[in-house]
Structure 1
Amino acid sequence: MQTIELGRTGQQVSALALGAMRMGGDTDERDSVHILNRYLEIGGSFIDTANCYEWWSHPGTLGGQSEELLGRWMRDGNRRDQVFLATKGSAVPVFSPELWDDQGQPNWELARRTFEGAGADTLRHALDGSLRRLGTDHVDLYYVHVDDLNTPLEETLEALHGFVTAGKVRYLGWSNVRTWRLERIRQLCERNGWTLPVAVQQQHSYLRPGASADSASIVNFEQLDYLRAHPDQTLVAYSPILKGVYDSAAKRDGHWLMENYTGPDADARLAALAEVAGEAGVTPNQLVLAFLLQQESPRVLPLIGPRTREQFEGALPALDVKLSEEQLRRLSEAGA
């Protein structure tokens, strides 16, 4: 597997990151360990988790299962030094029995209203809990998981800088964040000598969000322009294949993720994708990953989150796809 530089840090990480969100939840320990071992086997290094994973699949808990599983896996094979380890804080909801209904289904509306946020004390406790579950004295990358508009940025950034100077965190990142906030973060870091986040983790794929889409989590044209102008921050693209909808028109039809992407522009890009996938001999899902892996401005680091062994293996052919300049141009220029 190829590597890319994280921001302008000099740190090389694998060009395809592995998300462990479902590990310890929807994906049982045996399959999780198999996927993790295979990822290392093919040269992967960048593993992503969060302290809240996967609270919604375990009624009565507030997450930590993914971090605990990764901690066991790293200890069992003495693998900590083989991994560039990322985790996140700020998104755990305040505990309430009302977070789950009688069927064990999560109440997302309540969770989004009561997430713990990025206050200094909250993040300190969150990071210490993550380090304990992961069984390590530091993480390589620590994200603010959900941008917290109710806590002064100065408080959050000073606390995060303290994590770095204490040696608990090597690099910082931010997720689910609007562009104006990224610029404000940059200004405050420059003014106060605080550590600048070098990773921006957002939902990003081949389809482009429609004009009516309004989500802090999805990369838009403005944010792409911002990241082109600031290559010291790498775009880590989660949900790069949008739950696998590219391979199936039936799956796209009515899928909640498609609410932000439907329209003539999406139709034109799907048509171009199908055409080039046929030429390259790969599935549309695989082609999307290959397309993102070959983006130069801004650089994109896709983050896959397979639930099964088959889904993981299904993503790997993308690593060997080399699109021509003409194919990349057709894919990039497609649209209404």
Structure 2
Amino acid sequence: MEYRYLGNSGFRVPVLSFGTGTFGGQGALFSAWGNTDVAQARRLVDVCLDAGLNLFDSADVYSKGAAESILGEAIKGRPRDGLILSTKATFRFGDGENQVGSSRYHLINAVDAALKRLGTDYIDLFQLHGFDARTPLEETLSTLNDLVRAGKLRYLGVSNFSGWHLMKSLALADRYGWSRYVAHQAYYSLIGRDYEWELMPLAADQGVGAVVWSPLGWGRLTGKLRRGAALPETSRLHATADYGPPVDEEYLYKVVDVLDAIAAETGKSIPQIALNWLLQRPTVSTVVIGARNEEQLKQNLGAVGWNLTPEQVARLDAASQTTKPYPYWHQAGFAYRNPTPV
């Protein structure tokens, strides 16, 4: 397993990490993802560790806390320093007025509750699950800095931030000498390249590593979707399509056609090719993979240990390219002043 630095930090993470959204199966969204129990989770953790993958990502809202609890049970008894635990909070977790957001009240409660569910006394990477425009950034960032100083959190990140959300936060942290965000858990895939427009150049400039979520385009790059064919009965898209990013069908199949051709050339599966493409993109520190079962997990782990050729990458780039919104299409016409991150 290849390891990379997490943004501009000294912390090394595996290029593939395991997402626990399939643990628990509670609620309409997460029950469609999976319902992995403790025994199954232990086996998946074993497979990950055997492959050198030791970063496990969760969130308090995954199955209403059950995912964190199951992960905590699955890692019980294992050496803590051999594991990297990542989780997130900000979204609503309870009915009370203060059970949501990035206030001091909610963040301290959320971190303490996550530590208890995970069965640990520190979290390696803690991320805000979304931006909270209602809470002053000074309150959020000073609270996170206090939690780092208290030893409860090791590294900080965010998820689903826009460029100005992230840049304003980084500037404020720099002004006061508070702990800086070193990771951005962002949606990025062959059929969802919005991350490249502003967030990637920002990440390259500011040293923020991408932690990629939904790298298979919300389940559309599994190899099961084909032009003119009905959606497979086993596809989670039956229940979750409305929750995820919309994708034009013809655009999807244009990309799948190229994936099919490269699969024939390489002997690799479509998911493995889609994941490998991401691992060659600038600023990507780790790609979060998920799996309902051991077979899916082992398939996804096969995305490492080899690389697409530059020519294959270029074909995938061309097939998945879309027209950028303003001002990015305008900036792209001046590459000598706005070069693509490398």
TM-score with structure 2 setting the length: 0.81
- Asked if 1:130 corresponds to 2:114, the answer is yes
Provide the residue aligned with 1:141 in structure 2.
125
Residue pair 1:24, 1:32 contacting (<8 A) in 2 also: no
Structure 1 residues 258 and 23: CA distance shift in structure 2, 3 A = closer
Counterpart-to-counterpart distance in 1, 2:246 and 2:219:
15
Counterpart-to-counterpart distance in 1, 2:257 and 2:45:
34
- Asked if 1:317 corresponds to 2:302, the answer is yes
For the residue of structure 2 that corresponds to 1:244, the secondary structure is coil
Counterpart-to-counterpart distance in 2, 1:115 and 1:261:
33
For the residue of structure 2 that corresponds to 1:301, the secondary structure is strand
Counterpart-to-counterpart distance in 2, 1:311 and 1:115:
35
Structure 1 residues 309 and 144: CA distance shift in structure 2, 3 A = same
Provide the residue aligned with 2:172 in structure 1.
188
Give me the identity figure in percent. Answer: 32
Q: 1:329 aligns with which of 301, 314, 327?
A: 314
Provide the residue aligned with 1:57 in structure 2.
none
Structure 1 residues 53 and 186: CA distance shift in structure 2, 3 A = same
Provide the residue aligned with 1:213 in structure 2.
none
Counterpart-to-counterpart distance in 1, 2:72 and 2:252:
41
- Asked if 1:80 corresponds to 2:89, the answer is no
For the residue of structure 2 that corresponds to 1:260, the secondary structure is coil
**What RMSD in Å do the two structures reach over aligned CA positions?**
2.3
Q: How does 1:110-129 map to 2 (within 5 A)?
A: 116-129=100-113
* Paired AA for residue 181 in structure 2: P
* Paired AA for residue 65 in structure 2: G
Residue pair 1:93, 1:114 contacting (<8 A) in 2 also: no
Provide the residue aligned with 1:224 in structure 2.
200
For the residue of structure 2 that corresponds to 1:219, the secondary structure is helix
Residue pair 1:64, 1:133 contacting (<8 A) in 2 also: yes
Counterpart-to-counterpart distance in 1, 2:67 and 2:79:
16
Counterpart-to-counterpart distance in 2, 1:256 and 1:114:
28
Q: How does 1:266-305 map to 2 (within 5 A)?
A: 266-295=252-281, 297-305=282-290
Provide the residue aligned with 2:29 in structure 1.
none
Q: How does 1:1-336 map to 2 (within 5 A)?
A: 1-25=1-25, 26-54=35-63, 63-75=64-76, 77-95=77-95, 116-208=100-192, 219=195, 221-230=197-206, 232-246=207-221, 247=223, 248-249=225-226, 250-251=230-231, 255-256=241-242, 260-262=246-248, 265-295=251-281, 297-334=282-319, 335=321
Moved over 6 A (4+): none
Structure 1 residues 263 and 226: CA distance shift in structure 2, 3 A = farther
Tell me by how many angstroms 1:193 deviates.
0.8
* Paired AA for residue 37 in structure 2: D
Tell me by how many angstroms 1:269 deviates.
2.8
* Paired AA for residue 67 in structure 2: S
| Unaligned runs of at least 5 residues, structure 2 | 26-34, 323-342
For the residue of structure 1 that corresponds to 2:158, the secondary structure is strand
Counterpart-to-counterpart distance in 2, 1:219 and 1:257:
18
Tell me by how many angstroms 1:326 deviates.
1.6
Residue pair 2:7, 2:208 contacting (<8 A) in 1 also: yes
For these two proteins, the number of residue pairs brought into alignment is 301
Counterpart-to-counterpart distance in 2, 1:183 and 1:287:
32
Counterpart-to-counterpart distance in 2, 1:256 and 1:281:
33
Residue pair 2:93, 2:100 contacting (<8 A) in 1 also: yes
* Paired AA for residue 275 in structure 1: A
Structure 1 residues 166 and 115: CA distance shift in structure 2, 3 A = closer
For the residue of structure 1 that corresponds to 2:268, the secondary structure is coil
* Paired AA for residue 228 in structure 1: A
Counterpart-to-counterpart distance in 1, 2:244 and 2:129:
23
Residue pair 2:41, 2:74 contacting (<8 A) in 1 also: no
- Higher relative contact order, structure no. (Cα contacts within 8 Å, ≥ 6 residues apart): 2
| Unaligned runs of at least 5 residues, structure 1 | 55-62, 97-112, 210-217
For the residue of structure 2 that corresponds to 1:287, the secondary structure is helix
Structure 1 residues 146 and 259: CA distance shift in structure 2, 3 A = closer
Counterpart-to-counterpart distance in 1, 2:205 and 2:99:
32
TM-score with structure 1 setting the length: 0.83
Structure 1 residues 83 and 227: CA distance shift in structure 2, 3 A = same
Residue pair 2:68, 2:118 contacting (<8 A) in 1 also: yes
